[in-house]
Amino acid sequence: MSNIRKFRNGLIVRMPDTFPGAVAALPALLGLKRIIPEYCGLFVISPGKFNQLFRALPMVDGIVPLMKSASWWSRDEFRMVRQFHAGAAVLFKRSVKDHILLKAAGIPQIISFAGSCEVTAAAAGAECCDLMPELRLPCHADELTGGITGLFNHPRLLSVFPGPDGVIMPEFFSGMKGWISDGGIVVICGMYPAAAGTLEACHKQLPKGFWFNCSHRLDLFAQMYTMRFSAKILTADPGYRHLACLLGAASKL
């Protein structure tokens, strides 16, 4: 980053399109925030479905939520990028299209750090393990939607987060059954809808009234609150494992 000459209003970062990639790159984003001048802003371009993740980051000063991240930007999205008047851009995603669009938006300096989170963080000037960005949820638990708040008072809440395929690993079911047997309840969460086979297995193996399917029904704020209120978290998805660590819930995994 030492070759950046003028930041103008700040630095704009094109984040990865996958949830695991976006969350894993947050320590690197904090590394970038620490090396830009104090008076400069840090802006991000990201799929709109991750918008609340970046709204929970005090270090982010502006967001360009993309409706279709795999397509060319819309006029409004292009206009938002131009209005930030950033002097430099960083790509955490390998994309010729985004490079062309950033150039067309008038950003003179573009640097690509597409690759692993560790490589990105090293390029940003610090190791990932030393960078834990602060997450602040800008709403109270009682403002959440999706009917999840009624479950937060349960002392033995187990939240399960399937991966993009919506599948819960078979070995998790024994833990879910044991958790219910010990007086707990199970909530299936996440932005991905639970697969039909997973729901069928839940109906067959878990007692009715002790498990709840909230997958694909909760926004990211509600999912993050669920992690905080849970006594235990089950997930094999790296994005949700990273998110639990950032929320201080690593001990619940």
Q: What is the mean pLDDT of residues 114-143?
A: 61
69 or 196, higher pLDDT: 196
> Residue 215: inside a domain, yes or no?
yes
Query: Do 213 and 118 reside in the same domain of the chain?
Result: no
Query: Do 101 and 28 reside in the same domain of the chain?
Result: yes
CATH code assigned at 114: 3.40.50.2000
Q: Is the pLDDT of residue 39 over 90?
A: no
Residues 114 and 93 sit within 8 Å (Cβ to Cβ)? yes
Q: What is the mean pLDDT of residues 83-109?
A: 93
Query: Do 21 and 111 reside in the same domain of the chain?
Result: yes
**Calpha distance 235→75 (Å, rounded):** 38
> Residue 136: inside a domain, yes or no?
no
Q: Is the pLDDT of residue 194 over 50?
A: yes
Predicted pLDDT at 128: 45
Predicted pLDDT at 204: 95
Among left, alpha and beta (phi > 0; psi -120 to 50; other), residue 130 is alpha
Query: Do 163 and 245 reside in the same domain of the chain?
Result: yes
Count the domains in the chain.
Answer: 2
Predicted pLDDT at 38: 86
Residue 137: pLDDT band (50, 70, 90) is confident
> Residue 4: inside a domain, yes or no?
no
Query: Do 67 and 155 reside in the same domain of the chain?
Result: no
**Calpha distance 156→183 (Å, rounded):** 7
Predicted pLDDT at 110: 93
Length of the chain: 253
> Residue 135: inside a domain, yes or no?
no
> Residue 158: inside a domain, yes or no?
yes
> Residue 226: inside a domain, yes or no?
yes
- Among 68-77, 145-154, 200-209, whose mean pLDDT is lowest? 145-154
CA atoms within 13 A on the CB side of 3: 7
Predicted pLDDT at 101: 95
Among left, alpha and beta (phi > 0; psi -120 to 50; other), residue 115 is left
Q: Which domain holds residue 229?
A: 141-252
Number of neighbours of residue 220 by Cβ within 10 angstroms: 19
pLDDT digits 0-9 by tens, 147-181? 677 888 899 999 999 988 999 999 999 999 999 99
Which of the listed residues 105, 130, 155 is the one where a domain comes to its end?
130
Predicted pLDDT at 150: 81
Which of the listed residues 130, 150, 175 is the one where a domain comes to its end?
130
* Average pLDDT of the residues of the chain: 88
Nearest Cα residue to 21 out of 53, 59, 62: 53
Whole-structure pTM value? 0.88
Which of the listed residues 78, 100, 130 is the one where a domain comes to its end?
130
Predicted pLDDT at 140: 76
Residue 212: pLDDT band (50, 70, 90) is very high
